[in-house]
A and B are shown apart, each in its own frame.
Chain A
């Protein structure tokens, strides 16, 4: 399975600021995904990031709020913009491998 790392692992931010989360994979992958897990909740897909094209966002998520970059086949970033306390969540990236879909360790974000 792919080895996936995320930076930062956690952060505490002030409302109105932005945070960029990085996701690095140890092998080339076509599709990368970004999910959000709000406190005590399940996971919800934010967007699909393909290299060389704009990310595809799910209903309820917009590019202005969650801009995504995918500069190559091993890396992606998710920015949480103009944060509010409601953005406090765990953000996870994932990749599809030949045997399943695997997740990074997550970024635990707290917005004050």
Chain B
């Protein structure tokens, strides 16, 4: 069975601080995909990234960066120089093989204060 753990329930930072969200996953499959989504107060689920299990390269997209480490089964997400618009719930998710079903973590609520 697959499992995603986001141990941080809530994180509060002041604008311009960096914030790192932790994601630890469990699966016995060797082929899997990891995702991050953002859910702002408006409620829609915004896709941020998908990473497959064979690509451990870190990814940077603007102020967002992701650190994938298979050795620790982690796929952490960092927001650099946070802004108020980054305030949202962030979900880490996992799918295994080719069935594309997503198992979500509990989510981390990020509040960025001006």
Contact = CB atoms under 8 A, between A and B. Distances in A.
A1 interface: yes
Given A48-B101, A90-B43, A96-B100, A101 B35 contact: yes
A60 interface: no
B91 A43 contact: yes
A5 B35 CA distance: 22
Interface residues of B, number: 20
B44 A45 contact: no
Nearest to B100: A96
B37 to A, nearest CB: 8
Contacts, number: 51
SS of A interface (majority): strand
Given A42-B105, A42-B107, A108-B43, A101 B100 contact: yes
A104 B101 CA distance: 16
Report the 4 A-B pairs with minimum CB-CB distance, sorted nearest first: A103-B45, A100-B50, A96-B100, A42-B104
Interface of A: 1, 31, 33, 35, 41-45, 48, 58, 90, 92, 94, 96, 99-103, 105-106, 108
